[in-house]
A and B are shown apart, each in its own frame.
Chain A
Amino acid sequence: MQQWTIEGPEQLTFGHVDALDVRIVAGRLAVLASDGPPTLDVAEFDSASPLLVSYDEDSRRLSVTFKDLTWDGLTGWLRRDRRRTVATLAVPRRATVNAGVVSASAVVAGFEAVTHVKSVSGEIVLDGVSGEVHATTASGDVESRSMAGDLSFKSISGDLTVADGVPRRLRGNTVSGRITADLRLRPTGYVTLYTVSGSIMVRLPEHTEADVTLRSTSGQLDSGFDELKLNGGGPGNRSISGRLGGGMASLSATTVSGDVTLLKGEKE
């Protein structure tokens, strides 16, 4: 087990890495997939307590965190000016990544295994991440581009935007955040979106083959696909549902008071 204490800008290179665990408070964090040697680059560091880096060559685990983040971190959290770190990590694309930030923004790109990103108020940017991705935030937004595989998103008020997504499973669960997604669905694609007051907007290509259900208690429901029918039901029990093409993939979007809009895009 090797350990380093970081108190200023620094660069480190490691041996094989299969698992990364990184937690920072404020600033910017980037975790990129690369086939080169795993590296940590700390470009800016402004914190009274040092960042601890430990690397275990046997288990191939790399961890980057503040030792005392829990207890003392509380004060750093309320006082915004402390514990600013700008760090970039490059690790193999097959590595499992566990990233946590408080107010820092996090960019995670290119991973193919299991990726967990958690944030309190910092925004999370995911680019070209496949495999299994879990993004959880309180108020930070999650922006995803070119995702494939499984994405599960949970937030209180943070928005989720998925651009150019080809999900196998996409689960979005937020209280007041908005969900905006531009998706293509494979026959096995399975999408479930749920918000309380946030609006949901989904765009599917014209020739999508999927079973679709949009529900809202009091929000407005709109669909650009004429095949889908509005089921009156009683108040608070309205839905738009139906089969696009031959069905197979599945999309369901449910809100309490948020609007739900399904848009028809170009031919795939």
Chain B
Amino acid sequence: MSPVFGHGRLRLYLLKLLEESPRHGYEVIRLLQDRFLGVYSPSPGTIYPRLARLEEEGLVTHEVTAGKKVFSITDKGRAELNARMDELEDLEQEISASVRDIAREVKEDVRDTVKSLREELTRMARDVRSGPRDEIRRTTERQKQEFRRLKEEQKRQWSEHAQRWQTEGERLAGEWRRIWTEVWRTVGGAPESRAALDDELGEALADFVAQVRTEASGTRLTREKLDDLRRTLNDAATRVRDTLRS
């Protein structure tokens, strides 16, 4: 059981759930699962005896509707709940802390799954590809010829498709701008009145980044240069901020 439910706290939480509304036993179980996002799953063997004990103590009562027991809280139960209000608050805090843990677990879990999947598929892909390559390796001469042929083919391909690449490049520049503007708009959330201006600023930034990228791809980037650039960007940021605020 989750450490959250030590020291009679499950009892307290059951009272809280029944105080919200009368519920079936299975509904109580489902709610506990959901509030803990499936991490804590109590079994009927845990919950039904607890409810029975609460009923013996006169804190809850049940009536049978459509063949199922529906539990509801009594005044005595409500009194205990009120008396332990502070404790309940602590409990809710701990639940949200455990929800935070769940979020972190989900993230780590997915990352692990994704990482091992990528490794596995990469390995499989290497096996699929190795077949024809082994043949090529049989004679150096054949390999050389193959290379020559490939090179020529590539050359031809390149010239034939230079045109296509160029349009592709233009399309890409457009794509970059479009995605950037879309993201910028969402993150920014400017009011209707200046949304157009905001988009324009977003586009100006996209163009700026695209330009810097193009220039950077043609040079050798070093750590020193990067630090230098970051200082330049910080200066620029300060000036941009001053302009925006003036």
Q: A residues bordering B, Cβ < 8 Å?
A: 11, 23, 25, 30, 32-36, 39, 41, 43, 65, 69-75, 78-79, 88, 90, 98, 100-102, 105, 107, 109-110, 116, 118-120, 125-127, 136-138, 143-145, 154-156, 161, 163-164, 175, 180, 182, 196, 201, 203, 217-218, 220, 222-224, 234-236, 256, 261, 263
A residues within 8 A CB of B188?
A: 69-70, 73
A residues within 8 A CB of B180?
A: 138, 156
B99 within 8 A of A: yes
Q: Do most interface residues of chain A lie in helix, strand or loop, or is the interface mixed?
A: strand
18 sample A-B contacts, Cβ–Cβ < 8 Å, listed by A number:
A32-B103, A34-B99, A36-B35, A41-B100, A70-B190, A73-B187, A75-B241, A78-B233, A107-B107, A120-B183, A127-B110, A145-B110, A156-B176, A156-B179, A217-B157, A236-B161, A261-B129, A263-B121
Most A C-beta atoms less than 10 A away, residue of B122, B154, B161, B188: B188
B105-121 vs A, Cβ < 8 Å mask (1 yes, 0 no): 01101110110011001
The answer to whether B128 touches A261, judged by C-beta atoms less than 8 angstroms apart, is yes
User: What's the minimum C-beta distance from B155 to chain A, rounded to whole angstroms?
Assistant: 10
Most A C-beta atoms less than 10 A away, residue of B93, B113, B114: B114
- Bound together, the chains give a CA A220 to CA B117 distance in angstroms of 21
The answer to whether B190 touches A136, judged by C-beta atoms less than 8 angstroms apart, is no
Q: A73-B188, A180-B118 are in contact. Are A41 and B96 (CB under 8 A)?
A: yes
- Which size bracket describes the interface of B in this complex? 35 or more
Q: B residues bordering A, Cβ < 8 Å?
A: 30-31, 34-35, 37, 93, 96, 99-100, 102-104, 106-107, 109-111, 113-114, 117-118, 121-122, 124-125, 128-129, 153-154, 156-157, 160-161, 164-165, 168, 172, 175-176, 179-180, 182-183, 186-190, 198, 233-234, 236-238, 240-241, 244
A residues within 8 A CB of B34?
A: 34-36
Q: Which residue of B lies closest to A11 (CB)?
A: B96
Most A C-beta atoms less than 10 A away, residue of B106, B109, B161, B165: B106
A residues within 8 A CB of B111?
A: 125, 143
Q: A72-B244, A154-B179, A203-B121 are in contact. Are A118 and B186 (CB under 8 A)?
A: yes
